[in-house]
Amino acid sequence: MTSFTEKLRKVTDSIWEANFNHPFVRGIGDGTLPLENFRYYVMQDAYYLSHFAKVQALAGGKADDLHVTARMAFHAQGTYEAELSLHEKFSTLLGITEEEKRAFEPSPTAYAYTSHMYRSAINGSLGEIIACILPCYWIYYEIGERLKECKPEEPIYQEWIAAYGGEWFKELVFEQLERLDQLALEASEKERQKMIRHFTISCKYELSFWEMAYTMEQWPDTEAVEVQ
Ligand SMILES: Cc1ncc(CO)c(N)n1
Ligand SMILES: Cc1ncsc1CCO
């Protein structure tokens, strides 16, 4: 029998393929991605992960089972550690200054994607929240698996691949896949439909996030609008 997560993977496969084939992802693998784009990505992703951790913690608050509350809190802690070890190191290597961090503003896509996750956290069940945050785990895991054999010249890209292609990350991803399969079995058909919707939207936002970094997306320049 196909599991719920296998079904999710299948119905969103074309979005996954677009993620794998995105020039930002390919550019990490072959080392051709300009560091300027990666620098932009790292700043937006630090913002993204700080909200991702909060959504994981909110999910823990919706669990009926103390074990699951503790595991979700552990995952939030894991996100904090990833953020510290990856992004702080990258910030230093890329020369991102304190002043730049202070002046940081989330891009339209980073803001929209994190808002989408909060929406599930406020309105949804534990299963809906996990469905919503699962593409974040799972797409990066598969990208890590695909890029594992790549040896880009840029050491920063090598580290990025190693982080998502490693055992630590894999175990966290598989834990959430199993959890969602279990929650889907217990859910109503209506709730499962919502899970599919949240999951699909997040797969699309993962793709938009690469595009955002590849184009270094900005908010509309309102300074340029002449006020009559
Ligand atoms: C946008 C995004 N999705 C997923 C991950 C995986 O941690 C990440 N760092 N950023
Ligand atoms: C960094 C990261 N991304 C998805 S899960 C995770 C760590 C544990 O939650």
What's the 159 CA to ligand 2 centre distance in angstroms?
16
| Chain segment 204-228, per-residue pLDDT in tens | 999 999 999 999 999 998 876 666 6
Domain span including residue 28: 4-217
What's the 137 CA to ligand 1 centre distance in angstroms?
7
CATH number of domain containing 109: 1.20.910.10
Regarding the beta carbon of 110 and ligand 1, being less than 6 Å apart is answered no
74 inside domain: yes
Answer for the pair 69, 16: CB distance below 8 angstroms, yes or no: no
Q: How many CB atoms lie within 10 A of CB 45?
A: 20
What's the 155 CA to ligand 2 centre distance in angstroms?
21
- Please report, rounded to a whole number, the percentage of residues in the chain having pLDDT higher than 90: 90
225 inside domain: no
Closest CA to 137 of 97, 102, 174, 108: 174
227 inside domain: no
- For ligand 2, atom 4, name the residue with the nearest CA: 137
Regarding the beta carbon of 172 and ligand 2, being less than 6 Å apart is answered yes
224 inside domain: no
Domain count, the chain: 1
pLDDT value of position 1: 83
Count Cα neighbours of 124 within 13 Å in the Cβ-side half-sphere: 31
The alpha carbon dihedral of 42, 51, 201, 148 has a sign of positive
| Chain segment 80-126, per-residue pLDDT in tens | 998 888 888 898 999 999 999 999 999 999 999 999 999 999 999 99
Regarding the beta carbon of 78 and ligand 2, being less than 6 Å apart is answered yes
- For ligand 2, atom 1, name the residue with the nearest CA: 79
> Where are any strands of DSSP class E within 2-138?
none
97 inside domain: yes
H-assigned helices in 63-188:
66-82, 89-93, 98-103, 108-123, 126-147, 155-164, 167-186
What's the 199 CA to ligand 1 centre distance in angstroms?
14
C-beta pairs of 33-37 under 8 Å, 24+ apart in sequence: 33/154, 33/157, 35/94, 35/154, 35/156, 36/216, 37/213, 37/214, 37/216
- Please report, rounded to a whole number, the percentage of residues in the chain having pLDDT higher than 70: 98
226 inside domain: no
Q: How far apart are CA 40 and CA 19, in angstroms?
A: 18
pTM above 0.90, yes or no: yes
Regarding the beta carbon of 48 and ligand 1, being less than 6 Å apart is answered yes
